[in-house]
Amino acid sequence: MYAKISKKGQITIPKPIREKLKIEKDGAVLFLVEDNEVKLKGVPGVQAEQLAGSLKKYAKGYVPLKKIREKIQDEIADETAKEGLSD
């Protein structure tokens, strides 16, 4: 099956493949690179939530996703405010 890559480097996984891998709207995809080939493994939504943060013991500094999102929102707000001041 063929999928075109968007300008942002994104693809849509065709429905028959999503169904076969049991990937639903809250699921995820695990990319495995072996011998210059990419393999996809479907991760159902419940499992994706259970896996969240499971590698934090290997990270030098674990930061919850909620904190990252808050930081990004703050930075966007700061940049927007600065742009408003320069007009």
Q: Decide: residue 18, CB within 10 A, 0-12 exposed, 13-18 middle, 19+ buried.
A: middle
Q: 18-53, pLDDT tens digit by residue?
A: 888 888 777 788 888 888 898 888 877 655 556 666
Of residues 62 and 71, the one with the higher pLDDT is 71
Does one domain contain both 15 and 33? Answer: yes
**What count of other Cβ atoms lies within 10 Å of the Cβ of residue 7?**
5
CATH code of the domain containing 2: 2.10.260
- Name the pTM for this structure: 0.44
Does one domain contain both 71 and 35? Answer: no
Does one domain contain both 75 and 35? Answer: no
**pLDDT reported for residue 49:** 57
> Could you tell me the residue range of the domain that residue 39 belongs to?
1-52
Does one domain contain both 28 and 62? Answer: no
Give me the number of domains the chain comprises: 2
Q: Of all residues in the chain, what percent carry a pLDDT higher than 70? A: 76
What does the alpha-carbon distance between residue 2 and residue 26 come to, in Å, rounded to a whole number?
23
Does one domain contain both 9 and 46? Answer: yes
